[in-house]
Structure formats: C-alpha cells, structure tokens
Structure 1
Amino acid sequence: MTVSETLADFLQTEALPDAVRHEAKRLILNQLKASVGGKDHPAIRILHDWATEGGGGGATVHWYGTAATPQQAAMVNGALYEVLDFHDTYIPCFMHAVSAVLPAALALAEARDLPGERLVTALALGVEAELAIATILMPSGYYRGGVPAGLTGGVGAAAACSVLAGLDKARTVHALGIAMCTAFGLYASVGSMTLSYITGATARSGLAAFELAERGFTSAITAFEGDRGMFQALCDEDRAKITPALATLGTEWRLAGQTYKVVPTETITHGPIECVLAIRPRAAGREVERMAFKVNSLVQSIADERRERFGVPNSESEATFDLRHCAAAAWLAGRFTTAETAPACYMDPAVLALRDRIDLIADPARPTFEGCSVELVFTDGSRDHHAIDHFLGTPGNRVPDEKLAALFRQYATVLPPDRCDAIIAAVWALDDKPVRALTALLRT
C-alpha cells in the first residue's frame, strides 16, 4: 500500500486506549492554556480582522467569540495556539504537533455539532498520523529550513477532519494526498509574526484538503513517496525509515511523548530557565559575573544563529526565541511569564547586560533539548551549579493534570474564575458532551 493508504487504514481505528484518550484531552487543555493570553497580541489582532472580514458562521474564534466559517476559525485559532510559543512540543521531531490539527478539527466539529467523544478520537488519530510523517521527514526536513509542523500539520488536520466526518478510506486517501501536496512553511519565520500565520494557514489548508476530498476532489495517491513527492522534495532521509515509522501506528503511541510547556517561551529555553530559577533562591543577593550553560549542540547553534540574526530583541517574538534573553530575564525577575518577553523587559539595560554575560557550550552528553546544566560565577568569586536531565513538562518529568489546570487559570486573566473552572471541566467531560458545550465557553 502507499503511505496515504496505510495512514487511511489506521484512521479507521475506532477504539482507543483510555490513556490515549486522556492524553488527547490534556493536549486540548494545553492549547487553551497556550492561547488564552495571546488574544491581544498584535499578530492575532491583524490576523483576526483580516481572516473574518467577510463574515461567516458555524464556528467561533477563541476568546473573541467572533462568528466565523470553519476555515476562518481554524486560521485564527491556529495562530492563537502558536503566538506565545506556549503549546506542546514533540522534541524528537522539533515540532508543535497539535497546533494545526486541533483548530481544524475543533472548527469542523463545532460547525457540524459533533460529539466531544469524536473530537477526542479524531485529535488523537490525526496527531499520530502527523507524527508518523514527521518521524520520516525529520531531522533533515528541519535542517533544510522547513517548519516541521508547517510541513506535516496539514496532513494531521486533514486526517483528523476525515475521522470526524466518517470519511471512507478512498476519500481519506485523497484528503491526505491534497494536504501532502500543499505543505509549506520556512523556519526563517521564527521571531516574526509569520510563524503564527504559518500555523494558522496550515490548519486552514488541512481543513480545506478534507473539504475538497469530501466533495470528490482527488490527489496523487503516491503524494508522499512518489517521484517528486513529499519525501523527495522535503527531506534527505533514508527511504528505509518509511516502513518502520508506519508499522508502529496504533501500537506505540507517539502522543505519549509530547512535552507540555510550563513557561510561555520556546522549548530550548526551558532547561536553562529551570536551572537559573533553581539556583536563584540560594544566591543570597550575589551578583552574577557570568553564566555558562552546557546544552545540546543543536541548542547552541540555534541560539548563536539567532543572536547573530536578531542582535538584541526588538519584539516579543524575538525575545521569546532568544535563549540568552530568557535566562537573563528569569534570573533578574525570579520568574518567567509573558511579562518577561514584553518591551519593558527585553529593553531593560540590566537584562541586556546580563544577556551579554551568558555563554553556551555544546555538551556531547546532552543528546536532546530535555536536559542541560549551568555554572554561575558571582562577582565575589564564588560559584554555583545546577543540572537537570528532564525539565518539567517532558515525558521524563510529566506535568500533572492539576498543574496543567493551574497553568490555564494563571494565564486566563481575561476570564472570571468560574469560567476557568467550567472550561477545565468541559475538557475533561468531552467524552460525554457535544463539542459546542466547550466552544460556547471560549469567549471573554
């Protein structure tokens, strides 16, 4: 069978393990946590006004409550999930797997008044299909300059929507093929508003792929592995990866390998932030002379490239993707929240000065982003050290459900406490409620 046919077969799965269903609900709550504080971000305001200008109906834009077509809602909600970089990360593929899949599926489910149980199933299966494709394409798809979720998110969105609508196998194959042929997104967008646009547009594109296939639109059935198909065009991987990556579908759930962010910034900054916040209480007022982080080699190269490209941060987005800024801001503030990527912080002379005293050292003993260490040298000559192997939120140091709910409440400052509680309860109860019981609450 072709790759699309293999995925379409997997998408016919009806019964999911309880643990997988629960993880899908956690991912939904995590995306709401990621987006609720981003409503007033300039990028979101522009995208919202542009995307909904012609009016629409059937679905709604999170937190605005704007009536929108499913494609409009998928566009803006996808950007909302991305804008604070506070979403999920699948570290093995350097990607945010849920941010394009959920907005498409949620908009379709709301428009068609579908049960929450089907949304949970569709999200889990759609993300698994997406991660299987990403596992094949990465890391060289990323090294070439692709946004991993931009390249594969449309496939996951089309897959999830096909499951929601009960599309037959033949049309599901075409939905996946259309999405494969329309993948896009360049990593040069990092640090700009364009990254949010890519996520939203990918969600909309995956939904459109499904809608066209449902109407009978066809695609190349070898869109992935065929001559000049997705595989050849987007990566430099060995074709031998394809079969084993697909063979584990439904038996080894990649969904369980997701990382949940506990601070609103990029994944590679989480270890360093956690290290400095662990040392800070015992610093007893000592001033930092230098910080030296030992990190995964890719983290060093990414951070150094951005330092050269950005110079000093000039926007919230650039501050979010600047590891040295994030570590310096966390040390001086004793925390890391959205305030630490705001102009008052990234323009603060004290933050900028400390940022210039931070060194990054590639550590061969750190195979992934999950761990790092830091040594601080203080102006009095004293030193301190801290190391972590799995920062909070990684599969090796999971965020409990209660902590995830608390993070949503912390960042949902635009909502009254009883609304926060109702949203959290609605997510956990999705198996027994219509999707509209949740989406009706997602407004300020």
Structure 2
Amino acid sequence: MRFKMIKLVILVIASAAAVNSQCFYKDDASKKLNPDDRINMYKGQLHFTLDLFNTINKYVPDDNIFFSPFSVYHALLLGYFAAGHQTEQGLKQALKIADSLDKVNLLTAYKVDKRSRAMNNNSDSYEFTNANRMFVDNGLHVRQCLLDLLSGELEALNFQDQPDQARQYINSWVERVTKNNIKDLIPADGISHSTKLVLANAAYFKGVWASKFPAERTKKQVFYVSETRQTLVPFMRQKGIFHYMVNEDLGAQILELPYKGNDISMYILLPPYSMKEGVSNIINNLTPERLAAVVEEGYMGREVVVEIPKFTIERSLELKPILETLGVGDLFNVTSDFSTLTDDRGVVFDDAVHKAKIQVDEEGTVAAAATAIFGFRSSRPAEPSVFIANFPFVYVIYERPTNSILFMGVYRDPKK
C-alpha cells in the first residue's frame, strides 16, 4: 500500500525580548556533547506524542482523529530554540526535554537527525521529507548567532507591508513540500501587519505496503460505528504472514502492516468490540514502554487473514486550547519571551492550527498533515489468525530506527 504523508506546523507571532552575549548560555562553548543526546531527544518526542494524542482524544472523543505529532513537535522545537526564560521552561516541560539535555546539545542532535534523514531517505523503498522554517518579519532584529546556527531554517518575509503575499508564500512552501496535499494552511486572516514570526514544519511520506492488498478482493461490508449504528464501507482483504499479538496491558489486538523497506510500519490497535470506551482506554494506556513492547518484541509472524477499511480522512485541529492544556499557553500570552531569537520585545503567537490528511488503499497510504501556530471482540472468531477491523480502532505510523511516531489517528466513523 502506498503511503503519503505531509505535515506542517506554524506559529504566528508579533515581536521579542532581551538576551545574553552567548547565543543560548554564557558558557555555550564549554558544553560537552553526549552521544546519547539524539536518543534522549527521540525519547522526549515520544513522551510528548502520547501526551498530545491523549489530549486531542479528550477534545474530540466521538470523532475521527488524524494528525502528525512529528510535525507539531518540530514546529514547537523551533519555538524552543528561539524562546527564553519562562517561555523556554514551559516548552521544555511540555516537549519532555530532559534536564540533562541543554539547548546546545539538543540543537546538535536536531542537526544530526536532519542530516541523517537527508542521507538515508531510501527512495527505492519509501520517501520521507521533513522541512522546518522560521519565517521572520524582515523588520525583526534577529540575533546574528541564531542566524548562524539556524541559517537553513530562517527566512525573512515582509509581513508588515505585504502580509497576504507572505501568507501565500508560506502556503506555497507548504504545498511544495507536501506535494500539493496540504493547501491553504494559513487562512486569509492568519497573517497581519503585526505578525513577526511564523514557525513551520512540513513533512511528506510515501510508502508502499510490503504486502499489497489485491484490489479484486476489496468489497463492501459492515462497519460497526457503535452498538446502535452501522454502515457499509469498502474493506480490503488479504492473507499473509504478519506480526500479530493480543496485548492485555493495552486492551487490544495489534497488527503490524509494514511498508516496503521495513523501517516504517502501520500498527492497528483494535479494542474489544464489546467495550464502548475501548479506543479511549487504549490511548490512556499507551505509554512509551508499552509501545516499545509492541514494536520491539513479544510476537511472532503468523498467517493472518486481514480485513481493514479503505479510507480517506482529512482533519483540521484547533491546536491553541490543546497546547494550552499541555502547558505551553505562555506562547499566546503578552508575557511570552523570545529573547534568544531577538532583542525586540512583544512576540506573541496568535493561534495554532493543524491540518492532516491520510488515504489508505490497496497499494499504500497517502497522508498529509499541517500544523499552524499563529481481547477482544465479544463474538470474535475462535481462530486467532483473523484480524477484522470492522469497528473503531487506533492506528499509528511508526518509524522504527528513531522510535518516532510520524502520524497517528482514530478511525471511528466512515461518514465523518
């Protein structure tokens, strides 16, 4: 199955504050690099991802969910590099950045990861492109040290005199990186004359199932939205050797559907049909340790009959209240501090939105996402090698080499 995905995160701001002679700390040059810093960055990212998923599910408990935590994390990470004092501390806590991981080492880990992704993108198996940008107003006095450290991420635009042109430029950048999957991310009123900063991340993934679903086997059958409502949707079907397990801690049957190359897989977590809150229970119980048990060990390949819906979902999320719940509300306060970026004062983010799209079919998956910041079934078959996802489930697109969740969602209702 082909899988495409794109993501983008944007924060719209207004100005900034004061800073030290060094870029991050007075003793920047004395910071010793730790070979575990990149691993620690991935660990923090995963903790943030699961917190974000849980929070989003509480805001939309009865709807489909699809988003890119990777996108949201990287947009906020740019904000962390630019922030100072209380804003920096709030972002550090929300992003689960370890106390031992200072900004110097985190930036180094970020750059190593960026280079590694650029070098290791296996075009024969899958394509994954990730891009970050700090779009700053050309009237903002950006500190030279940050210009040097983040030269590949910083780009000046004329927000003050040409706000709509700047908006169109950023939206075009998003479209280009996401190969036209995410359009018009920033709405017409998203950029104003007072905007000083937009933080953006865009990513694109295209993968092919390691074992494709034969198109001739796709047929309509019942999907149970709830105990009282059902609908007909096209289901894809195949029999093959897959990793399959029942995980009591998560309360789910779990199936891995790898993409060609085996670095990235979709995991489907299917709760008991009889449990009304099964999906929410999975999300509540999903910890880094339990996820590791799913992706690293505990189950053998076996012959499984797989039936999953063929679907397309496009979702927009108002991220501001969600981020405020996660503890980064200072981004949207007049007291926000971006003194690492600039000596100018008054930078405040107006809003944060995220847009994502996924298409799952016989060949693979097409997915796109954008963020802007301005045991089981009660009547399951006795044969355990049958996996039929015909009621609400959780799904995760997981990158094994970095232990990163690139996309995740909940499929609850085909009609929404």
Choose between structure 1 and 2 for higher RCO, CA contacts under 8 A separated by at least 6 residues.
Answer: 2
The structure where strand makes up a greater share of residues is 2
Instruction: Give the structure-2-normalised TM-score.
Output: 0.30
Name the TM-score, length of structure 1 as normaliser: 0.29
Higher relative helix content: 1
